[in-house]
Structure 1
């Protein structure tokens, strides 16, 4: 997309309410979270998104690009690894040695870390080890450099991760590149997002799960509303360049999903390759894989030592968290949210 065809970002921005600001201050310990609403669906985004929205909307798309998209905690990392290995002829040596954050630029991650980066740089002289300073600076480059700049210099094929709704991405994305979208039961997303918000210091959620559930189902968590996010991708599921997956399908029959992804990418998979890939992607092996589990970030105090990025690898684990009232709330919320669509989540 050339500069002469640059498109205006089509959505407006508006401030969150004072009530929402007070709730964020009460439940999130990091004091510099600053959120706004975007567009007619009121997606909740970091304020830094305002500066970069148009650049992302006009991102030049290559026909060889592969995007893995989702709302957070839907099985994104699992899907990324599956896609990358199929597309790269089962290069396990690279997959085990190069962090997935380096293999997949995360399109909007830097927006969350604008203020965090300032804090890190302000305190970097307190770090005595030159080697650790260098590692911190490298980490900040990965987390905080606008990915639009990084992508322009990357060779093809590019593998890109995003949690942005489809309407925020370039309008020609599915006409040009391949997009794999992964969705998951909203109740499991809520549970996993709760732990995620406790894991990453940039959020540092300090409430109980019930507090988080109230926030999540009322569309007051980052990049909510959840169902609008999923429905945007669902409405594109018949496009030949869009593959829509459910987390529950991966959990129930991983080989079947591998075959669907392989067909989508135009790849062949032998039985021997299938066996090794499914073993590599098994939860027990995945949670021990340092290239995908973000354990290295604990060194930089970006993540809490009390939580893990790869948690349980389980579908419908929400039953362990929901009481009867919350279950009834969820049933009604899901019914209301899916009333205008044929989208239904697998009950496995």
Structure 2
């Protein structure tokens, strides 16, 4: 079934030149588009690939979601292990990209249609940019991380990216992120699409900070979600494998052979609260106000506001 194209527009003319000057590849900002009712920022070629929204879903599909740099690789590895009998040896011997398939760009719909079941599909896209009724049709695990840490991690990723390097400083990136001129933003529009479905039986929402404190409890939650039953001793086997520092050294996940140059590494520091080390006084106060306004009436307010 083919779907109607999503609404798409270029960046406002008043902002185009300012944004363009912050990237090393001069054509990149002119290729930025605002897509869908949420006006999500996307690179033009990624928007054109959204024809894959008509991908036929399967009931045993496993989707892993979260905003970019929120811990989706970590959650995907946990989910794959829990749904594959905690087979750490298989996870070490088979590259992550062969087990979990990145949905958002770079591959046509036919690629995903040709995958054998169950398909493990990882995405940073908002629900409105994904195949319709996805969460009604199959299960998704989703991770939320402090948006200030997300922003800092995105900044490092974009600044060191060899294709589209960000030339500005952290404060300039902060302003673009808030404006919705970084790929996948606006952040809170995106997040609220998922929070609106938080009670759906096919959606499990986890928090990065909770995973960091107790990965074993997170593994139990994912196991229960997929109706898998393991003893504490069995789950202990995967905790070391899922340690952030272990994953950073794991070539099956974080290798230049798989992911390209060092700037593209998927697992960086993995710290919670690292934004405190790099935000200046203005950013600290401004971000507090930004979070308070946008987390109003959500479960995230108590967790992230005034912290």
Q: TM-score range by the shorter chain?
A: over 0.9
C-alpha RMSD of matched pairs (Å) = 1.9
CA contact (8 A) 1:185 1:345 kept: no
The alpha carbon displacement at 1:342 in A equals 4.5
CA contact (8 A) 2:36 2:129 kept: no
Q: Secondary structure at the match of 2:34?
A: strand
Number of the residue aligned with 1:140: none
Higher alpha-carbon Rg: 1
Number of the residue aligned with 2:233: 272
Larger relative contact order (C-alpha < 8 A, sep ≥ 6)?
A: 1
The equivalent position to 1:20 in structure 2, one of 12, 15, 32, is 15
Number of the residue aligned with 1:56: 52
CA contact (8 A) 2:88 2:238 kept: no
The alpha carbon displacement at 1:343 in A equals 3.9
The equivalent position to 1:296 in structure 2, one of 257, 274, 294, is 257
Q: TM-score when scaled to structure 2?
A: 0.92
User: 1 CA distance for matches of 2:156 and 2:291?
Assistant: 21
Summarize the alignment of residues 1-348 of structure 1 with structure 2, pairs less than 5 Å apart.
3=1, 6-9=2-5, 11-33=6-28, 34-53=31-50, 55-110=51-106, 145-146=107-108, 148-296=109-257, 302-303=260-261, 305=262, 308-339=265-296, 341-344=298-301, 346-347=303-304
The alpha carbon displacement at 1:262 in A equals 0.4
The alpha carbon displacement at 1:297 in A equals 5.3
User: 1 CA distance for matches of 2:13 and 2:302?
Assistant: 35
Structure 2, unpaired ranges of 5+: none
Q: TM-score when scaled to structure 1?
A: 0.82
Indicate how the Cα distance of structure 1 residues 65 and 84 shifts in structure 2: closer, same or farther if over 3 A, else same.
Answer: same
Indicate how the Cα distance of structure 1 residues 102 and 30 shifts in structure 2: closer, same or farther if over 3 A, else same.
Answer: farther
CA contact (8 A) 1:246 1:345 kept: no
The alpha carbon displacement at 1:199 in A equals 3.1
Structure 1, unpaired ranges of 5+: 111-144
- Work out the number of aligned pairs and report it: 303
The alpha carbon displacement at 1:340 in A equals 5.4
User: 2 CA distance for matches of 1:100 and 1:308?
Assistant: 13
User: 1 CA distance for matches of 2:302 and 2:80?
Assistant: 25
Q: Secondary structure at the match of 1:287?
A: helix
